[in-house]
Amino acid sequence: MTRATPSDNRNQNCRHFSLPDAELFYWPAYLTAPAADLLQQQLSRELHWQTASIRIYGREVAIPRRQVWMGEPHCRYRYSGTDFLPEPWHPRLRELASQISQALQHPFNCVLLNQYADGQDHMGWHADDEPELGLAPQIASLSLGQSRRFDLKHRQLECQLQLLLQHGSLLLMAGTCQQYWQHRLPKQAQAKAERINLTFRYIAPK
Amino acid sequence: MTRATPSDNRNQNCRHFSLPDAELFYWPAYLTAPAADLLQQQLSRELHWQTASIRIYGREVAIPRRQVWMGEPHCRYRYSGTDFLPEPWHPRLRELASQISQALQHPFNCVLLNQYADGQDHMGWHADDEPELGLAPQIASLSLGQSRRFDLKHRQLECQLQLLLQHGSLLLMAGTCQQYWQHRLPKQAQAKAERINLTFRYIAPK
């Protein structure tokens, strides 16, 4: 079992944030830089990136990023009024999901990929709290490319955490993070390059 | 021993933040609102608030807040090139230092009080890491009056935490917080009223 514990804070390889109602674990170099470089290039080239639209107050609005929803066939995902059917696994991502499941001792069977062309692309405040993810879902978030600021805020308590998600890093959002906290990827004018983010999740078969 | 532990996060009375290289404990209502009201009025009226100057790059600059340094006679304090001799204890503050020492099971024998007239008064990034405070000092910070945002950032890791310090609240900065993190009270245009902050410390007798 490789799950991090608070004592891992002295281990340069893991940073643990134990917050009211949330546990975060951050590995700044989960992938080596060359492995992260290769993965980013492969995903950027080989996936069918979609500019999805969502319905906001009855209007169809293109979201400010491109995305792919992928995983086991039963992993349907409903997000802002739209049903997403999963693309079948890209072999490299099936392998990566399996490696991360093994490392964190937690199953992951689907992944939402988001591609941010530059600092204008972003994602607003939200939580990964769709019912199909179950109670207290664990979300494993792998970052490739441009470092971007990542904000978390508690829904009731007045506190906010800002992290920098680096190329090759893995962030595990655990505990009741999705229930009590929201997160976002804000716009960043100075961010000029592409970031790809993979959030691995688990949806139980029916 | 009333020291909070991680399990206290389910206790509405204490919020625990276990961060890389720092432990924070926040009690939003350490004092009842009426007790905090009375204390604020008394301190605002009865203390000898000083507009201190500090030397920055050889120039004398008035700091954007008023302050009082108070405690046991041996508690001299050197800050930005200036030596501060402590005022003798105000009876109410001697009593409060004793109560907080008892509650946190840690001695506090001096206190730096800062009075912020409104959101224009502030304090920049710094740590309470003066040598006389020793290694890994525990700082107990009591807030009265206007709620203000309080920021902490790690000196090396790219992460930052923002809290709201409320009327009557107590924040304990513990672990190696002063060694690895800095904190500040930023300007806040919308803050219109006075805040008084008391940071209790311990200086060992020579």
Q: Average pLDDT per run of 10 along chain B, which is 206 residues long?
A: 41 86 97 97 97 85 93 88 88 98 97 97 95 94 98 97 98 98 98 98 94
Tokens (6 digits) for B203: 């200086």
Whole-complex ipTM: 0.86
- Selected residue of A162, A183, A188 to mutate for chain B interface (largest B Cβ count, 10 A): A162
Residue B169 · residue B194 · CB < 8 Å: no
Residue spans of the domains in chain B: they are 15-201
Is pLDDT of A19 > 80? yes
CATH 1.10.3470.10 for domain B15-201, yes or no, is no
Is pLDDT of A105 > 80? yes
Tally: H helices and E strands in chain B:
3, 15
Rounded CA gap, B173 and B140, in Å? 6
B79 annotated binding-site participant: yes
- Amino acid letter at B65? R
| CATH fourth-level superfamily of A16-201 | Alpha-ketoglutarate-dependent dioxygenase AlkB-like (2.60.120.590)
Q: Which pLDDT value is given to residue B175? A: 97
Helix (H, G, I), strand (E, B) or coil at A76: coil
Backbone torsions φ then ψ of A81, nearest 5 degrees: 85, 0
Report which of residues A5 and A118 the model is more confident about.
Answer: A118
Q: Which pLDDT value is given to residue B167? A: 98
Per-residue confidence band for A12, with pLDDT thresholds at 50, 70 and 90: low
Nearest to A15 among B16, B20, B163 (CB): B20
Rounded CA gap, B42 and B204, in Å? 29
Closest residue in A to B160 (Cα–Cα): A162
Distance from CA of B102 to the nearest CA of A (A): 25
pLDDT in tens, A55-76: 888 888 889 999 999 999 999 9
Q: Which pLDDT value is given to residue A80? A: 66
Q: Where are the beta strands (DSSP E) in B86-156?
A: 110-116, 123-126, 139-145, 148-154
